A = this chain, B = another copy of it.
Amino acid sequence: MAELVSLQEAVAAVVKDGDSVALEGFTHLIPFAAGHELLRQGRRELELIRMTPDLLYDQMIGVGAARKLVFSYGGNPGVGSLHRFRDAIEHGWPGPLEVEEHSHAGMANRYVAGASKLPFMVMRGYSGTDLVAHTNVRQIACPFTGELLTAVPALNPDVAIVHAQEADRDGNVQLWGIPGVQKEAVLAADRSLVTVERIVERLEPRPGGVVIPGWVIDYVAHAPGGSQPSYALGITERDNDFYREWDVISRDREQFQVWMQAHVLGGEGA
C-alpha cells in the first residue's frame, strides 16, 4: 500500500547510489520535480532508463549523476540536440557514459516483459539494422512457423518514478492524456514512486483515465507542477518556450552548470 510522504522523504526512500532508475513519461507527465530532488540529494552512479531522455536526463547526465543510459531517442523534441547527452557521449564530459540503446518498440516491449515478469518479449524489428550488433537483443524462431523474430530482454528497474494528475489518500493514482509506458514502468520496477499534482478525496473516473492502484505503488508524493516544463494534461501546459531556451542554456558547459546551481541544485528542498 502506497505511503503518502513528502517528495524529499520519498526520493530518499526509493533511490540509492548505483540504482537502475526509470523516470518515465512520454513527452507528457515527465517527473522533473522528483528527478531534481534526486540530484539535490546527490545520487550518483545511476543507470538511467528512459525511452526519451528529454531535458530531464540531459540535466542528470550533465551534472554527472549517471553511469549508464538506457534509451531509444535522445533528442530535444522539435528543437534539436540534447547537448549534455551529446557532450557526454562525444567527449566523455563530465565523465564516461555507458550507452545501451534500443528502438521505441523495443523499449516498450522490454517494459511489457518487465511488467509481466517474463524474461523477454517477442517482436518484429531490429533485424537488418546496425543496432543488432550494438545492443542486447537476440533472434528467436517461431516454434509454429519457423519465422525468425527478435527477442528483447525484460526491463525491471530497481526504481520507477512517474508523475500523475492525482492520487487519493490510499495512494491510488489516476493519470490521463498520453499514458506512455508509465503503468508498465511502475509494475516492472522493484520500488516505485508516483508524484502527483493534487491529492483528492476520491478518484473520479475520467475519459482516458489510467488508474494504478495504491497497492502496487510504494510511495506517493504531492508535487504540484512536478512535471514542468513538461505538463500534466488539464492542469499545467507544456512550456515549449523553455524547451527552446534549453537549447541555448545547455549548449555551453559553464552556462549549464550555473543554471543548474541556480534553478535546481540550490533550489527549494536543497
| Docked-complex contact A144 and B122, CB < 8 angstroms | no
| Docked-complex contact A120 and B122, CB < 8 angstroms | yes
Classify the interface of chain A: helix, strand, loop or mixed: loop
A5 is an interface residue with CB less than 8 A from chain B: no
CA distance A123 to B208 in the complex (A): 28
Q: Mark A117-148, 1 if CB is under 8 A from B, else 0.
A: 01111111000000000001011101111010
A205 is an interface residue with CB less than 8 A from chain B: yes
| Docked-complex contact B142 and A143, CB < 8 angstroms | no
Q: Report which residue of A118, A139, A153 has the largest number of chain B beta carbons within 10 angstroms of its beta carbon.
A: A118
Check A147/B123 contact, CB under 8 A, given A206-B207, A207-B206, A207-B209.
no
CA distance A118 to B149 in the complex (A): 9
Residues of B within 8 A of A209 (CB): 207-208
Shortest distance from the beta carbon of A167 to any chain B beta carbon, whole Å: 17
The answer, among B118, B143, B151, for a CB contact under 8 Å with A143, is B151
Closest B residue to A204 by CB, please name it.
B207
Q: For chain A, residues 91 to 114, give those with C-beta under 8 angstroms from any C-beta of chain B.
A: none
Residues of B within 8 A of A124 (CB): 118
CA distance A115 to B210 in the complex (A): 22
Closest B residue to A145 by CB, please name it.
B119
Check A147/B119 contact, CB under 8 A, given A205-B208, A209-B207.
yes
Shortest distance from the beta carbon of A62 to any chain B beta carbon, whole Å: 32
| Docked-complex contact A143 and B120, CB < 8 angstroms | yes
CA distance A51 to B151 in the complex (A): 28
Beyond A119-B147, A120-B143, A142-B151, 18 extra complex contacts between A and B, CB < 8 Å: A118-B122, A118-B124, A119-B149, A120-B142, A120-B144, A120-B145, A122-B122, A136-B144, A138-B143, A139-B143, A140-B140, A140-B143, A144-B151, A144-B153, A206-B207, A207-B207, A207-B209, A208-B209
11 CB < 8 A contacts A-B: A118-B149, A119-B144, A119-B145, A120-B122, A120-B142, A122-B122, A142-B151, A144-B151, A144-B153, A206-B207, A207-B209
Binding site for B on A (CB under 8 A): 118-124, 136, 138-140, 142-145, 147, 149, 151, 153, 205-209
- What 8 A-B pairs are tightest by C-beta distance, nearest first? A205-B207, A138-B143, A119-B142, A119-B145, A144-B153, A143-B151, A120-B142, A140-B143
